[in-house]
Amino acid sequence: MTEIFKNSYIVPEKDLVSLSVYNVGYQKCESLYTWGPGIRNHYLIHYIISGKGYFKVNGSLYALKAGDCFLVYPNQEILYYADENDPWEYCWIGFSGSDAPSILGATDFSPESPVLFSCPFGDEIQKQFLYIYAIRGNDFKNAVEMTGKLYTALALFMKDTNQTKKRGTYDGYVQKSIEYISSHYSYPITVEDIAQYAGVSRSHLFRAFQSCLKQSPKEYLISFRIKQACLLLKTSDLSITSIANSVGFDNSLYFSKAFHKVKGMSPTQYQKKKLASK
């Protein structure tokens, strides 16, 4: 009887904003092993090492085999399951961050075509995914090293790509906005400022963000600032007011309310929790 196993690692805190590993692992599935239907809140790539299985998304069912890859997009309802007679073994990497949409936009993956059949670089994909699993850890150093290898792994999907067209207009506006936010989040910038930099109206920018990221520009900006605040709360001795000012909130009360909405606790509670876990 074939041994069934699952080895996975979930990163407890994603400190890096541009690109962070969410989870990583590999699994030999039992017959008809199923995940879903459900959604993920991050990107997730599976590479099939051996066996067969099925991936269902957007009303389409894909029959997959060794050497194939499939990509799960955030907040997209999916279902996947192993073949009854030849259940698959796969490795996977989950990730998120502001660089993810533009990197994936330069590959042959798309929401309409989330599967790559017979990847010519499959052995290297497997090697990189398993290496990321091998260097897993809770320290910031581990997060940086894992992210570095994630960039390397994603770059493989840009090799020999059939993607000859330019990225969609929406994706270009979003990427330009993300670049602006990354450089100016510590200042009191507004959505109007972002739209002006991207060269579109506020309403057009809203549609672009909803299409690409399933959230508004304001939601993305607040989330980005809170992420930076979390890093300061864990690594500095700054006061809550100083941290609020440092990440673009000129009102500490509003900062606390926004922080609580995103993290489910106050900045002070978050800081105490992180100090206690050290």
Write out pLDDT tens, residues 147-183: 888 888 888 887 655 544 444 567 778 878 888 888 8
pTM score? 0.60
Identify which has the larger pLDDT, 249 or 105.
Answer: 249
Identify which has the larger pLDDT, 131 or 17.
Answer: 131
How many CB atoms within 10 Å of residue 194?
Answer: 24
| Euclidean distance between CA atoms 171 and 14, whole angstroms | 24
For residue 270, the SS3 value is helix
pLDDT of 4 higher than 80: no
pLDDT tens, residue by residue, 83-111: 999 999 999 999 988 778 878 887 888 88
Secondary-structure percent of the chain, ordered helix, strand, coil, rounded to 5: 45, 20, 35
The answer to whether the CB of 73 falls within 8 A of the CB of 114 is yes
Dihedral sign, Cα of residue 264, residue 268, residue 271, residue 276: negative
| Euclidean distance between CA atoms 241 and 263, whole angstroms | 18
